[in-house]
Amino acid sequence: MRKASGAVVAMILAIALYFTLFWGFDSLRVLTSSSYGLDDVWHSQFVFGVGRIFHLGPIGLIKLAVFFAVMKLAAAAVFAIHIADRLRSLAGGKVNKEILESGLILVVLISSVSVAPALVSKNFELVHEQTIDLLLAGLAAALTIIERNYAAAEAPAEIAAEAVIAAKGATWFTPWR
């Protein structure tokens, strides 16, 4: 059973590394571009689609492109922190899974907003590209659940000790008596 846990951890790390590298480089490309990535027609279609929904002008489109780039950079940074936390846990300690979950929430929110204009404009190639990120986030969430279940089965005594609410011999507080 230990090999299954190692495979799950490796897959979670691979997904976190994917989002760190690809979303990080994509956001840095947009932020360092003179036109904030709007000159790249393929990758900026979701910005134009969201801008069309909210009737944004040129300045609004630039602000929206920067917003998406900063949010992708934040998600990439969260995944980089998770990778560092995983590596730190190899030396000893516990992994903070909430870091990964917060990154996954950012990915789902950004990808959902990005895929909506592609669905409206019936651009299925762009829908396919954005759906891959959603599927990877869903896979990472499922793997996190598997990892938690494996950890719970591995140490039931620790969970039972944490489940104790009141000390032995304590009387219950009931304000309605």
What does pTM read for this prediction? 0.79
Task: Please give the pLDDT value at position 1.
Answer: 44
Task: Please give the pLDDT value at position 104.
Answer: 93
In a domain, 92, yes or no: yes
CA separation (Å) from 171 to 160, 165, 174? 20, 12, 9
In a domain, 123, yes or no: yes
Number of folded domains that form the chain: 1
Task: Please give the pLDDT value at position 167.
Answer: 62
For 123-174, what is each residue's pLDDT tens digit?
Answer: 788 888 888 989 999 999 999 888 887 766 666 555 555 555 666 666 666 6
CA distance 98 to 68: 22
Phi, psi of 83 (to 5 degrees): -60, -45
In a domain, 69, yes or no: yes
Task: Please give the pLDDT value at position 168.
Answer: 66
In a domain, 172, yes or no: no
Domain that holds residue 48: 2-163
Phi, psi of 36 (to 5 degrees): 55, 40
CA distance 96 to 82: 8
In a domain, 175, yes or no: no
In a domain, 168, yes or no: no
In a domain, 170, yes or no: no
Cβ-based neighbour number of residue 99 at 10 Å: 19
Taking 50 as the pLDDT cut, the residues of the chain under it are 1
